[in-house]
Amino acid sequence: MLVLNTLPERGRPLDAIDASMLGPSGADAARRWIETQAERPETPLYELGALAAELGVTRLYVKDEGRRLGLGSFKALGGAYAVACLVLEEASRRLGRTLCFTELASPAVTTVASSMTVACATDGNHGRSVAQGASRVGAKAAIFVHSGVSDERVAAIARFGAGIIRVEGNYDDSVARAAEIAEERGWIVVSDTSWPGYERIPSLVMQGYTLMVREALGRLPEPPTHVFLQSGVGGFAAAVAGHMALMLGDRCPTIVVVDPARAACLVESAKAGRPVKLDQGEPTVMAMLECYEPSLVAWRILSRVADAFIAVDEIDALDAMNRLARPAGDDPAIVSGESGGAGLAGLVVAMRSVDMRRHLALGAGSRVLVINTEGATDPALYRTLVGLDPDDVRSAGSAG
Ligand SMILES: Cc1ncc(COP(=O)(O)O)c(C=O)c1O
C-alpha cells in the first residue's frame, strides 16, 4: 500500500531546531564524537548491479550498517552518541568549563559519569547502543525490554554490564515503564522516540545517525534519485531524510518511508494527517520496526520531507533478506537482519506495481539508495529464516 504525502506540511522548511540538529553543524558534532571512538571505519557502500537490472532501475546502492562499531546495526551511532553528549554536558556543568569529546576518558569526566544512570526501552538495537555508550564512558545503564525481545538480543545488551528490566507488553509499554521508573529514581531517559515535552535527547540520537548519511553521500558518485527508508518510530527515516533535504536542497531524492504492514504507524499517520497510535496487532518478523506510534520529532520532519509512505508484508522482508544473502550475478552477499532489508523490500514492492512506479517516477533512470540497517543481530533467528549461517554468507560474498 502506497500513501502519497499530500499533507499541507509537505515541502515546508524544517523548524530551526530540527535543522540545527540534523544540518551541517549537528553532523559535525557527531563527527567529532566518532573520531574519538577506537573503531570508527566507515561502513561499506555496495553497488548491486545485477539486482538493479533484475528490478528495472539503473543503479542500486546498499549502505551496509551490519558491522557498525561492532554492534551489528546503525543504532550504534545514536544511543551511544547521545550518552556521550549527556555525560559531557553534565561534566561541563559540574566542572565549570566546556569539555570536548577528546576528554571523555579523562578521570574527571569518568568520575562524573559514574554517578549517572541512563535508561531506555528497546527492541534490541537501541538498548545495545545505550549500554555500550554507558560502559565506554563509565556510566550505569538500565535497559527496559518487552516480552517480545529475544534472549539472544537481551544477552547482547547485558554483555555491556547494563541492568536489564523485563516489562510485560510491547515496545510502547516498555517506553512508558522506562520513563516512569527513571523519573522515580533520577535516571536520564535516552530514548530513540520522542513525545510532547521530550524531544532533545531523541534529537541527539538522530543527530548521531547523520554520520551514516554523510558517509553514503561522500561515496556516491551523484545523489540518488530515490531512497527507501524503513521505519519503526521514524527516527532513522527522519534523520536520513532530514539530513539529505538540508544538504541536497533541490537535488534531494524522492523519500519513501517503509513500514511493516503489521505495525504501519507512519503510513496510518500519513493517511490521518497527524501522528496516530495504533492498536497492537500480530507481531511482525521485522521486530525492530514493531512500533505503534511515531516519534513526534520524526513525524514533524517526515511530514515535510517524505514523498510517500509504503507498507510491506512479512514475506517481502524475508524475500529481501534472502536476495541479499544469495545475490544475483557478481553482486556481493550481504547479511541483512529481519528489519535491515525492509528498505529494499519497499523498493521491490514498488517495482512490482505499475501504479507505484508511476507515482514515484521510479524505473529506468532511477538511482536508488537503501540502507541495510542491521546484520544478523539474532544469528539463530537469521539461520532459521535464511537457512544459512551469517558467517558463511559473509565469507561467500565479497561483503566480508
Ligand atoms: C535495524 C533497525 N532498522 C530500522 C529501525 C527503525 O528505526 P526508528 O525506530 O528510528 O524508525 C530500527 C529501530 O530500532 C532498527 O533497529
HEC string of 16-54?
A: HHHHHHHCHHHHHHHHHHHCCCCCCCCCCEEECHHHHHH
Burial code of 170-201, b = ≥16 C-beta within 10 A, e = fewer? bbbbbbebbbebbeeeebbbbbbbbbeeebeb
pLDDT of residue 235: 98
The single residue of 18, 64, 123, 378 carrying the catalytic annotation is 123
Active site residue 75: yes
Its sign, for the CA torsion 125, 131, 135, 137, is: positive
Q: What gap in Å lies between CA 29 and CA 101, rounded to an integer?
A: 9
In angstroms, what CA-CA distances link 351 with 1, 49, 59, 355, 362?
12, 16, 13, 9, 8
| pLDDT on residue 397 | 65
User: Does 340 contact ligand 1 (Cβ within 6 A)?
Assistant: yes
* Residue range 58-95, pLDDT digits in tens: 999 999 999 898 889 999 999 999 999 999 999 999 99
241 lines ligand 1 (CB under 6 A): no
What's the start-to-end Cα distance of the chain, in Å? 35
Query: Ligand 1, residues 265, 288, 296: which to mutate, most atoms within 8 A of Cβ?
Result: 288
Q: What is the distance between the alpha carbons of residues 35 and 37, in angstroms, rounded to a whole number?
A: 6
Stretches in the chain below the pLDDT threshold 70 = 397-400
**Cβ of residue 192 lying under 6 Å from some atom of ligand 1:** yes
Q: Which H or E element spans position 227? A: strand 226-230
Helices (H), the chain: 16-22, 24-34, 49-55, 79-95, 107-113, 125-137, 151-158, 171-185, 200-219, 235-248, 265-272, 296-305, 314-325, 342-352, 354-360, 379-386, 390-396
For the chain, list the domains and their CATH numbers: 2-73+202-396 (3.40.50.1100), 79-191 (3.40.50.1100)
How confident is the model over 112-133, as pLDDT tens digits?
999 999 999 998 899 999 999 9
Going by C-alpha positions, the residue among 82, 48, 371, 57 that lies closest to residue 237 is: 371
Catalytic, 64? Answer no
Which atom of ligand 1 is nearest to 239's Cα? 10
Residue 319, C-alpha cell as written in the block: 524475500
Residue 263 forms beta bridges with which residues?
A: none
- How much is the pLDDT for 388? 97
How confident is the model at residue 39, as a pLDDT?
Answer: 73
User: Which residues have C-beta within 8 Å of that of residue 105, sequence separation ≥ 6?
Assistant: 137
